[in-house]
Structure 1
């Protein structure tokens, strides 16, 4: 995915100095990413997969310039979002492995435009044989505003804002789910 993104950027005449994707495990420590800081850091449709949104928010905030903004888009928890990942939850609760999920997916009668039904990859191909899947969707159904606000405040971000940005119709289910946009600013 990173190589594909970088190739597409280059094909558009944008230098890698101006924009490029990297794949690294960040810890929020000085010296990472060659000391770079950013005006905006955005994380879309990933928070519900992360075991600790508090830790992740602190790491992302670390890379903001003073006055920079963290933007997060993810599932807003409501009656429709609760069962959005229900089949994965049932498999996880049963002790299923990634191999079980892949077999389940292969036998479904529907197709997914992007391979997973909601706009981002889960890197199933990289899963090891026997890997338990309980971690794949750590926050089934998304988040309430207070959960995201708490993570932003613990990361030292200010001027928190939350709004429902729109609704999407997942390919797995009859009901649309709401997406939120949350923003917070690193103090100057």
Structure 2
């Protein structure tokens, strides 16, 4: 099987996650991982259930978003995988979350004013997806455009890993990088004009596909 690193990341990931979306929430320790990520996000930003509007980029099935539902006014998930978007919206119904409060749409954002009906957000979030993105500097710049002044971009992902410890089934099936270095994420935030950058580290559950070390990066639109 050819390595997806030699293909366009977006199309490779779209194909993979369309195929496997229905299995995503059933991966080993998926619920524990989502819980640890939600806890870190809620500690990083003062969510207000009466006012906070959230954009969840590369939202996946919504397993993280559902943990934030009670803490924000609205949450819009965006993903390039229709399979993931379908699972996200299915999960909303199954967990009896009002459709007016949370939903997902399929889109590949380019940072144009007409996208998402011109909406701006208090928080733009991307959890455990940056290592699947080819150009994180360009994507960070795009995501910053959807922030309100004073809004925060929060990225949760894995620090750079030793490629030798990444399972071969991951290397040969999913377009990804072996984590994101601190210098890379800082460069991306600086390039997007985001200030007050800080990064914290925490532990998640170790799984066959992922390490337990995770970082949360946050920056504010000036």
TM-score, normalisation: structure 2: 0.56
Identify the match of residue 16 of structure 1 among 99, 103, 107: 99
**Which structure 2 residue ranges, 5 or more long, are not aligned?**
1-83
Instruction: Give the SS at the match of 2:106.
Output: coil
Aligned to 2:200: 163
Report 1:46-125 matches (<5 A): 46-78=129-161, 81-85=162-166, 87=168, 91=172, 101=173
Q: 1:164 Cα deviation (Å)?
A: 0.8
Are 1:34 and 2:71 matched, yes or no? no
Identify the match of residue 151 of structure 1 among 162, 182, 188: 188
TM-score, normalisation: structure 1: 0.65
Instruction: Give the SS at the match of 2:190.
Output: helix
Cα-to-partner distance string for 1:89-114 (whole Å, 9 max, x where unaligned) = 865xxxxxxxxx4xxxxxxxxxxxxx
CA–CA distance in structure 2, aligned partners of residues 50 and 90 of structure 1: 14
Instruction: Give the SS at the match of 1:56.
Output: helix
CA–CA distance in structure 1, aligned partners of residues 109 and 171 of structure 2: 31
Q: 1:39 Cα deviation (Å)?
A: 0.7
Q: 1:8 Cα deviation (Å)?
A: 2.7
* Contact 2:123/2:154, CA 8 A, preserved across alignment: yes
Q: 1:19 Cα deviation (Å)?
A: 1.4
Q: CA RMSD in A?
A: 2.3
Instruction: Give the SS at the match of 2:103.
Output: coil
Higher relative contact order (CA 8 A, sep 6+): 1
CA–CA distance in structure 1, aligned partners of residues 86 and 170 of structure 2: 31
**Which structure 1 residue ranges, 5 or more long, are not aligned?**
92-100, 102-121, 123-135
How many residue pairs get aligned? The number is: 139
Instruction: Give the SS at the match of 1:15.
Output: coil
CA–CA distance in structure 1, aligned partners of residues 146 and 192 of structure 2: 12
Structure with max Cα Rg: 1
* Contact 1:84/1:172, CA 8 A, preserved across alignment: no
Q: 1:49 Cα deviation (Å)?
A: 1.2
Q: 1:158 Cα deviation (Å)?
A: 0.6
Cα-to-partner distance string for 1:101-147 (whole Å, 9 max, x where unaligned) = 4xxxxxxxxxxxxxxxxxxxx5xxxxxxxxxxxxx01x22x122111
Aligned to 2:220: 185
